[in-house]
Amino acid sequence: MPRTIKKGSVVVAVGTKKGGFLFHSSDRRKWSVAGPFMVGNLVYHMILDPRDGRTVYGASPVWSEPWGPAVYRGRAGETMKPTETAPKFKEGSDLAVTRIWHIEPGPADAPETIYAGVEPAALFRSDDRGGTWQDFEALNYHPTRKEWQPGNGGLCLHSVLVDPRNPKHLVIGISAVGAFESRNGGRSWTTENQGVRAGFMPNKYPEWGQCVHKLAWDASGDGSIFQQNHCGTYHRGPDGGGWTEVTKGLPSEFGFPIAAHPHTKHTAFVAPLVGAENRVFPKGQMAVWKTTNRGRSWRRSTKGLPGPGAYMGVLREGMTVDANDPVGVYIGTNTGQLFASRDEGESWKMLADFLPPILSVSASVAG
């Protein structure tokens, strides 16, 4: 670890339209920034691997776009380079990876395993830190695939949940297709969209076709999940089955990110926007909404956030939490402002202005 990022510091990895940045602080009051990394590139997602606190991964095309997608890897604070190979579909499938949207660390006891969610929607796993990749064939060539249609952001697999209790339990989310779940390490998958609305379809409650925007484990540790959807906010209980819509109390049904509290059960943060047709904060006031009872009620937080007159939005990877006590919450806007709360979302402070549009925010502790 370079001396510039101290061991034990909170590190917020920020992927932007023009490179990635590492904001770091030992007290979450005074912040420093390292970067840019992957200079000039669209960085769809950037993480500091929480398992070692040293390895940074980035999902980004090589040299912005022309040379195709890559997973970048490097030690925190140092130059990042594309890994030996990028995820690829099997030969003869006629599918080709165009973008990598999300990188998810694997289980704690498999420190070299990472997952990648890509466009067109597919899931891949690497067991050697991105050197080689395995294709989840039962999902990537699912019988329903021929009918999958892209949403406005593309046909992207953007959410990957790996159950910390059982790494064979996986849940993924695909825009305009829905959530799928596997309990056998990806050998078979079920659609998991019961109770989730697809307001843009003739059948409002189809088996699949829902536009999931982001998924997050509930800290209950029993398999419960939060979901922000194009059409509402949802919570699913520990035994699977149907989702319960918990949009009531929020200013709209539309938003992108959802971040769950890492320690306190049934607690999550969302950032609702006006709607699909106007993806900015309602009334020009940036706000984060918090629930502590799995969405039965919500409370709005604006202290330290801009508005009125703040007509910007937040993208699906644009909000995250750290693991400290009290928990820190971080949110980045598509107009290049980064905000942090170190009191669980009660109040906010701007960490950076004038960044390029922010595509992703994630937090870990430097090792």
Partner 1 sequence: MGAVLRALNASFPGIRDRVVDEAGRRRPYVNVFVNEEIVMGSLPEAKLKAGDTVHILPSVAGG
Q: Which residues bind partner 1 (CB under 8 A)?
A: 62-68, 82, 84-86, 88-89, 91, 93-98
Nearer to partner 1, 95 or 201 (CB): 95
Nearer to partner 1, 32 or 93 (CB): 93
Whether 124 contacts 136, CB under 8 Å = yes
Nearer to partner 1, 65 or 222 (CB): 65
Nearer to partner 1, 240 or 357 (CB): 357
Nearer to partner 1, 133 or 281 (CB): 133
In the complex, least distance from residue 119 CB atom to partner 1, rounded to whole angstroms: 12
Instruction: Give the closest residue to 339 by CA, choosing from 281, 330, 347.
Output: 330
In the complex, least distance from residue 67 CB atom to partner 1, rounded to whole angstroms: 4
For residue 171, what is the enclosing H or E element? strand 170-174
In the complex, least distance from residue 120 CB atom to partner 1, rounded to whole angstroms: 11
| CA 161 – CA 60 distance, rounded (Å) | 21
Sheet order of strands, 268-273 included:
254-260, 268-273, 288-291, 299-301
In the complex, least distance from residue 294 CB atom to partner 1, rounded to whole angstroms: 41
Beta-strand ranges (E) seen in 200-326 are: 212-217, 225-229, 232-236, 243-245, 254-260, 268-273, 288-291, 299-301, 319-321
**Rg of the chain in Å (alpha carbons):** 19
Nearer to partner 1, 66 or 202 (CB): 66
Whether 339 contacts 325, CB under 8 Å = no
Dihedral pair phi/psi, residue 138, rounded to 5°: -65, -25
Question: What tokens does 156 get?
Answer: 């992207």
- Alpha carbon of residue 37 to chain centroid: 19
- Alpha carbon of residue 124 to chain centroid: 16
Nearer to partner 1, 52 or 84 (CB): 84
In the complex, least distance from residue 90 CB atom to partner 1, rounded to whole angstroms: 8
In the complex, least distance from residue 134 CB atom to partner 1, rounded to whole angstroms: 14
| CA 114 – CA 170 distance, rounded (Å) | 13
In the complex, least distance from residue 91 CB atom to partner 1, rounded to whole angstroms: 7
